[in-house]
Amino acid sequence: MTITTQHELDGMTLAGKVVARTLEVLRAAVEPGVTPAELDALAGQVFAGFGAFSAPRAEYGAPVNVFISVNDDIVHGLPTHRPLQAGDVVCIDVTPNVGGFIADAAITVAVPPVSPTAARLIEAAEAALTRGLNAARAGQPLNGIGRAIQTEVGRRGFTLLPELQGHGVGRAIHEKPDVPNYYRPALRQPLHEGLVIAVEPMISTGKSPRVRTRRDGWTLATTDGGLAAHVEHTIVITKGKPVILTA
């Protein structure tokens, strides 16, 4: 969506706050022995406190409040009842609908003690997100976001998963424009003020850039067993630094 009224800005701001609060609560709850299903139930409690509900459940029939992907699962993971173990890498993707407005963000956390590889992977994903956000300014080309992300991931020696990308968001989960995490020369159209997009690098420790869908029909995983990291923010484009709604 493109924000054109104060009502829309207020609605998206509240949706972003619900995302941020949910991620804060779930990050604090990640520890050995807790199950992704318990984290999902906790997210539902946070949503209910704000009068929010799961946008993926409403739009796509997802059987979850939030997606939780562990280790080589990248995104859209269905929360399981397997207790988290020390060293697990956990991607949490939160997308509530709050009064008709939708914001989307993700974090990746590791269950302590954290391996050096997992720590570097998460650090690389977060750095790539920061670089992508810095390129997201009114008047700059859309493909500048992907160029920045791709450059940072490559510089840090990890593998980008180009089949997965960011997107417009606001009134629906996935709106135009698509926001690839790599440089596509054809995407030269300039970003404009008020545009709301989700920027979300997804990277792996593996060598293969391909992804596969697990038997549950939802979870996307690496094809070579590489650990995955997924980080994301919903932002509003301005002439300067973007407004990060989900910070």
Positions at the binding site for substrate: 76, 174
- Distance CA(204)–CA(227), nearest Å, equals 5
Show binding-site residues. 76, 93, 104, 167, 174, 200, 232
- Distance CA(222)–CA(210), nearest Å, equals 7
- Distance CA(146)–CA(151), nearest Å, equals 8
User: Number of C-alpha atoms within 13 angstroms, CB side, residue 160?
Assistant: 23
Show binding-site residues for a divalent metal cation. 93, 104, 167, 200, 232
